[in-house]
Amino acid sequence: MMLRLTLASLFIAGAGAAWTPQAPSPAKTQSLLAPSMDGRDIYRFYCASCHGADGQGDGPIAPALKTRPADLTRLAIRNAGTFPGARVKTFVTNGADTSPSHGTRDMPVWGPTFRSLEPSDQLVAALDQHVEKARLSLANTTDEYLLTTNWRLMMGGKVVMDTPRHIVLRDTLNHLAHHRGQLTVYLRMNDQTVPAIYGPSADDQRFV
């Protein structure tokens, strides 16, 4: 309704102005790639129009659909309290378990895009596994332990590094972010979105 009123007011305002022919503007093709690879941003870009900003199936397009979008906030409740991650993955990538609203395997909606983002590479999968192990380890430790004990790096039976654990953690995270700088060059050379790292990038302004 607001859009219609805005267009109507613009039409009325311009009706009395002198008309001059103008060359048609070249049509712009909207990119199908989200401007950010952050999971929340990907959801807002691809999913929120139907499933809603809060995932409750009340997006702006929902009333126009024959089948109401699923309430994603109840997925775990309907699955005995466990989030069905594998099943959701097959839905959004159009795997074996497809949903008509997400398209078919012959004509998927977002399947190809999500499959291109899927970390199928073995190195990425190994990294994800170790990230989960690291989170579990941190959840089971204490600040006192991290501040009062050292972590040792051994090579050939010799100690080459003996540093407080909290410093090792800080330096490791900083080091990972530092080397992402090399990846941003690769992304830019391939005309891909560069995410925010230490701060906002030209493509990702979440830290502004």
What does the pLDDT read at residue 12? 39
List beta partners, residue 151. 163
Of the candidates 120, 106, 112, 71, the one whose C-alpha atom is nearest the C-alpha of residue 93 is 112
What does the pLDDT read at residue 125? 77
Pairs from 104-113 (Cβ < 8 Å, separation ≥ 24)? 110/46, 113/32, 113/33, 113/46
Find where tokens 């809603």 sit. Answer: 52
What does the pLDDT read at residue 7? 40
Q: Which one has a higher pLDDT value, 186 or 96?
A: 186
Q: How far is CA 103 from CA 41, 89, 98, in A?
A: 22, 14, 8
pTM, 2 dp:
0.44
Average model confidence (pLDDT) across the chain: 75
Binned at pLDDT 50, 70 and 90, residue 117 comes out as low
What does the pLDDT read at residue 34? 60
Distance from chain centroid for Cα 125 = 17
Q: Do 165 and 150 contact (CB within 8 A), yes or no? A: yes
- What percent of the chain stands above pLDDT 70? 65
Binned at pLDDT 50, 70 and 90, residue 136 comes out as very high
53-85 in b/e form (b: 16+ CB < 10 A) is eebebebeebeeeeeebbbbeebeeeeeeeeee
Q: Do 101 and 108 contact (CB within 8 A), yes or no? A: no
Q: Which one has a higher pLDDT value, 31 or 90?
A: 90
What does the pLDDT read at residue 96? 57
What does the pLDDT read at residue 110? 67
Q: Is the pLDDT of residue 26 over 90?
A: no
Of the candidates 138, 116, 105, the one whose C-alpha atom is nearest the C-alpha of residue 46 is 116
What does the pLDDT read at residue 17? 45
* pLDDT tens digits along 68-90: 888 999 988 988 888 888 888 77
Q: What are phi and psi of 172, to 5 degrees?
A: -65, -45
